[in-house]
Copies of this chain bind each other. A is one copy, B any other.
Amino acid sequence: MDQFPCERGCEQCLKRLCIRCIPMFGSLTREQLERIGLSLLCRDCTRGEVLLQEGALSDYVGIIGRGSVKANKYTADGREQILYVFSQGDFFGEQNLLFQKPAFYNVVALEPVELYTLHRDDFQALLRQYTDIGIAVIQEMGWRLEHLENAVQNIGMRSLEARISAVLLELAGKYGTEDKDGLLLHLPLSREGLASYIGVARETVSRKLGIMEAHGIIHSINNRTMLIRNLSLLEAGAI
């Protein structure tokens, strides 16, 4: 479920194997998957490419096959708030599709992305035909709600340190790999991105990460890579 089984988005993979790895289609039969495969289009996107623009009416649901994207909004004074970081298997645009609403946020590729698109009519047909897809969509939206409910609680109440820890743990869950000294984490976001995700200033993120490093909780390898030395301390919200 974590990894598409094949290396490249080959025709074969797209139509036969990988679709099952998309949580949204996880419960369908091979035959149903094959039908969906016919409707899915694959597109390669470059880093920084805007996949969906806030306010736009798109006519497809986007499903991330490979890579990661951010969903963000801008305030009137031009500051960015990152709402989600989506990666393999996540989808976006289901709302404006079902209900013809303009998109509520931008979606921007953080790295080269393989994007599968499912057009409106096909999506609606699937949704009506297979109730399991609807339930999977509800489940995914439930996760998203949970994520945001946490974010609201964290931003509103918890200390900055705890919020940074929470974001690191979230990213560690998605992008971390085991290492002999701890958990190696290749961040999809720069410091500025982290700051926009957490809702604080860049400088503050630097300061706090510095403190965490001084406490031996993390070790910064470079701007995009860190080693989480002491996961339990991070979870405990120490510092």
A contact residues vs B (CB 8 Å cutoff): 73, 75, 79, 81, 83, 94-95, 98-99, 101, 104-105, 127-128, 131, 134-135, 137-139, 141-142, 144-146, 148-149, 151-153, 155-158, 198-200
Contacts and interface: CB of A to CB of B under 8 A. Distances in A.
Nearest to A73: B153
A141 B139 contact: no
A169 B193 CA distance: 30
Contacts of A127: 131, 134-135
Given A127-B135, A128-B131, A152 B98 contact: no
A149 B149 CA distance: 9
26 contacts: A75-B157, A75-B158, A83-B152, A94-B138, A95-B142, A95-B145, A98-B138, A98-B139, A101-B142, A104-B146, A127-B131, A127-B134, A127-B135, A131-B134, A138-B138, A138-B141, A141-B141, A141-B145, A148-B148, A148-B149, A148-B151, A152-B155, A152-B199, A155-B199, A156-B198, A156-B200
Contacts of A156: 81, 155, 198-200
A156 B77 CA distance: 13
Please tell me how many copies of the chain the complex holds. Answer: 2
Contacts of A128: 131
Contacts of A135: 98, 127, 134
A130 to B, nearest CB: 9
A95 B145 CA distance: 10
B142 A145 contact: no
Nearest to A139: B99
A145 B146 contact: no
Contacts of A139: 98-99
Contacts of A144: 145
A39 B153 CA distance: 35
Nearest to A137: B138
Contacts of A145: 95, 141, 144-145, 148
A160 B228 CA distance: 35
Contacts of A152: 81, 83, 148, 151-152, 155, 199
Contact of A149 (B75, B99, B101, B104): B104
Contact of A142 (B75, B79, B99, B157): B99
